[in-house]
Chain A
Amino acid sequence: MLDRRGFLTAAGAGLGAAFLRARPEHLQASLTRAEEARLAVARGAPPPPLEVFTPEQAADIEAIAAQIVPTDDLPGAREARVVAFIDHSLATWASDRRQAMVDGLAAFNTAAARRYSGVQRFAQLTNDQQLEFLRASDQGPFFQEVRGAVLVGLFSHPANGGNFEKAGYRILGFDDRYIWQPPFGWYDDKANGGPN
């Protein structure tokens, strides 16, 4: 009776999902803090300080995230503050993924530095180099885990600390008003009394 697609998608989300399975005892505290941070931001405060990543690591993760869901006329992963979400997750309920994420990033940067002379880290690559490098490495476990974390940070309920200013919902055209009257869209307009 659990919604089957949800159950199976969550179970089958693969490597991305390794990051997503929280330790439940940590979740509530994490959510409370995320809510406090959200309220602080709403009052004009800057994003919360990093807890796990160094500024360099955060820049690399943000560069990867911004390639996964780039910014165009709508916000992307960067504006959704996905890096802050991932950082805080690794500090709390996803702390069992912390080492894997940090080690994975180090290996990822080493590979980037080996391929492109004169750079140490992914964030230092040009946009074209970043795209080229990701196309060659997007099947690896590190990228897949970052991708999963980025999607959660972008598209889950803002109460979890990501999806800043509902950036993910805006991309999808989803409106979280939660109370609606028909017609809902183009096709049910006529059936529900409209002109289409």
Chain B
Amino acid sequence: MQAPHAGASAPRRAAAARFAPSTLVDFVVVGSGAAGGIVAKELSTRGFTVVVLEQGPRMAPEQFEHDEFRYFFQSALSNDSKTQPQSGNASVGYHRLVGGGSVMFTANYWRLHPIDFDERSRVGAIPGANLADWPIRYADLEPYYTKAEWELGVSGAPGPFDPPRSRPYPLPPLPIKGSGVLFERGARAIGLHPQAAPMCILSRPYQGRNSCQNCGYCGGFGCEHQAKSSTLFTVIPIAEATGRCEVRAGCYARKIETDERGRATGVIYFDAAKVEHLQRAKAVVLCCNGAETPRLLLMSASSRFRDGLANSSGYVGKHLMFNGDVGTTGVYEHEINDWKGPMVTRMNWDFYDSDPARGFYGGGGMDGRYWGYPLLFAFDGLPPGSPSWGAEFKRKLRHNYSRTMNIDCHSTSLPVETNRIELDPQLKDAWGLPAMKVTYRDHPDDLATMRFLAGKALEIHEAAGAVTKWAPPRFEQNGGVHLLGTCRMGNDPATSVVDRFHRTHDVRNLFLCDGSSMVTGGRGQPTATIQALAYRAGEHIARFARRGEI
């Protein structure tokens, strides 16, 4: 447990509930991130008692540092390869702290579009993939996207390819930065339609929180000004203020306990001292992320559920989707100084839809953005073929750092059955639990989409006047941080893990809600969808509980 901290949320935290693990609470929620924080708020504000288990620490705003060495290289607030090793041909990254990835993400906040929900019906089967329609449609989720944008605080402006929305953005766009100006200029010049990027960052003071101070440290960092609308600074304090919700930090879940009737009875976890406890609960909601949720289900195998809990379909852990991601880089004549301000201010959706004329399935979006922080830039920021040491290396670092920007391409990942999370049969983590094995190989159409978008991004750089520009030599992905699709939602228990309300088909009082629920991965930037799903799930789970249907 972390000591209570000073800061804006301290008075609210004073009211937070404390439960003994032996107390039978209404819900235990595993994971306090983008989804878990919202589910906890939705349940506790409707009168239910909730314990949230979070493996990482609780951070006060003033504890967030601009230290990429600690955060990126030392895994100070993310899964650590030393204590949480992984096997397989790819690796996954996620954050571990109260608020999870919602505290640390770049804050791109894209809604899905209607086609993301029924693309299987529109484009048909694709060889080598298990593409499926969602059991819900965009219209089912739209009110919850709106709720997320208004309750959390999102900045943006309408664009020509936007999906329908019932309310405008609550806040105007963040100020444009150099990468946004150049992206806009280049995109317009080649006939595209750039627009303000929707960002989960406050452009104006909102609900007692300050607006963005343009520090430049969004992606991978927490916001000391609380201007990034993470669950840590929005819904979690609301949940705690009910007096019915306890967020228990430093707790590493190892098993969902079930009884002889096959119902969940609680969650076994290690506290920060690695002492084991069982938190008893009437129902369990997993919001761990698309890698740890399937891992916890697989670790919860029992004589009754030999292949893992909620896995009668065999789908748990399968169809992992990372989203395609290609960064193209340009160096420009004048100083952009893109190390100031939020990472992204302009994006485009001209190529969102799949187009049969391209000859392959897939689509995506692009954005103009900051290349990255000083240390990462020193390792990897110079054009291919640049010297890696010496006077010329130093001269290039000095000249390029303020003149470099990226156009990043974000795109579809087809659900491929063999892309998956499994338990490694030998390797253990620092708690003695089976390590995660990650297998990932981009579908050929995903690679074709990445190649197509990278070509367009280079055209934009060219049209914007880049002096030098390049794309990475290879597009194959061997790691990801968008962890999607591994416990897919569906109507048929034979081909999905949860139903349209996030209830597992196999265990009546076990619910899953995070990136794992997503049937398709959209075109990148999944957080808005994960949070809309969480608002919707919380509302429905509370309804079931009230009616005695759990």
Contacts and interface: CB of A to CB of B under 8 A. Distances in A.
Contact of B72 (A10, A74, A171, A188): A10
Nearest to B410: A4
B209 interface: no
Given A27-B76, A159-B65, A180 B70 contact: no
Contacts of B104: 1-3
B332 A134 contact: no
A3 B220 contact: yes
Interface string B358-378: 000000000000011111111
B182 to A, nearest CB: 6
Nearest to B217: A178
Q: Is the interface of B mostly helix, strand, loop or mixed?
A: loop
A157 B69 contact: yes
B374 A155 contact: yes
B100 to A, nearest CB: 8
B252 interface: no
A59 to B, nearest CB: 18
A152 B69 contact: yes
A133 interface: no
A191 to B, nearest CB: 5
A172 B398 contact: yes
Nearest to A131: B390
Interface residues of B, number: 79
A22 B341 CA distance: 30
Nearest to A143: B389
A185 B379 contact: no
Given A1-B101, A72-B391, A151 B378 contact: yes
A180 B341 contact: yes
Interface size class of A (residues with CB under 8 A): 35 or more
A68 B105 CA distance: 33
Nearest to B369: A5
A16 B491 CA distance: 49
Given A7-B72, A191-B181, A171 B373 contact: no
B180 interface: yes
Interface stretch (B36-44, B89-97, B418-426, B536-544): B89-97
B394 A171 contact: yes
A156 B68 contact: yes
Contacts of A3: 72, 104-106, 219-220, 343, 372, 481
B95 A2 contact: yes
B66 interface: yes
Contact of A147 (B335, B375, B388): B388
Contacts of B101: 1-2
Given A5-B372, A69-B389, A182-B175, A187 B182 contact: yes
Contacts of A184: 177-178, 214, 336-338, 340-341
B66 A157 contact: yes
Interface in A19-37: 20-24, 27, 31
A67 interface: yes
Given A17-B73, A27-B74, A185-B336, A2 B176 contact: no
Interface in A82-115: 93
Nearest to A23: B82
A154 B378 contact: yes
A101 to B, nearest CB: 17
B94 A2 contact: yes
Contacts of A72: 391, 394
Given A2-B101, A3-B220, A178-B216, A21 B181 contact: no
Interface in A142-194: 147-148, 151-152, 154-157, 159-160, 168-169, 171-174, 176, 178-182, 184-188, 191-192
A148 B69 CA distance: 12
A68 B340 CA distance: 28
B213 A172 contact: no
Contacts of A152: 69, 73, 375
Contact of A7 (B181, B216, B481): B481
Contacts of A169: 374
A185 B394 contact: no
Interface in B38-91: 65-76, 78, 80-83, 91
B217 A187 contact: no
**B93, B100, B180 — most chain A CB neighbours (10 Å):** B93
A174 B339 contact: yes
Given A157-B66, A157-B67, A172-B401, A67 B375 contact: no
B479 A8 contact: yes
Given A70-B394, A76-B394, A179-B213, A1 B378 contact: no
B393 interface: yes
Contacts of A41: none
A191 B213 contact: no
B178 A187 contact: yes
A80 B356 CA distance: 56
B214 A182 contact: yes
Contacts of B398: 74, 171-173
Given A6-B72, A21-B73, A182 B213 contact: no
B334 interface: yes
Contacts of A10: 72-73, 376
A179 B34 contact: no
A172 B220 CA distance: 20
Contacts of B374: 155-156, 168-169, 172, 174
Nearest to B101: A1
Contacts of B105: 1-3
B527 interface: yes
A16 B379 contact: yes
Contacts of B480: 4
A119 interface: no
Given A1-B481, A7-B72, A72-B394, 15 more contacts: A1-B527, A9-B379, A20-B73, A22-B73, A27-B70, A68-B389, A147-B388, A147-B389, A171-B394, A182-B341, A184-B338, A185-B335, A185-B337, A188-B180, A191-B176
Interface of B: 34, 65-76, 78, 80-83, 91, 93-95, 100-102, 104-106, 175-178, 180-182, 213-217, 219-220, 325, 327, 332, 334-341, 343, 371-380, 388-391, 393-394, 397-398, 401-402, 479-482, 527
29 contacts: A2-B101, A2-B104, A3-B220, A4-B325, A6-B219, A6-B220, A7-B479, A9-B372, A9-B380, A10-B376, A11-B91, A12-B380, A22-B74, A24-B74, A27-B76, A131-B390, A147-B389, A151-B375, A151-B378, A152-B375, A155-B377, A159-B65, A172-B402, A173-B401, A173-B402, A180-B341, A182-B341, A185-B178, A188-B180
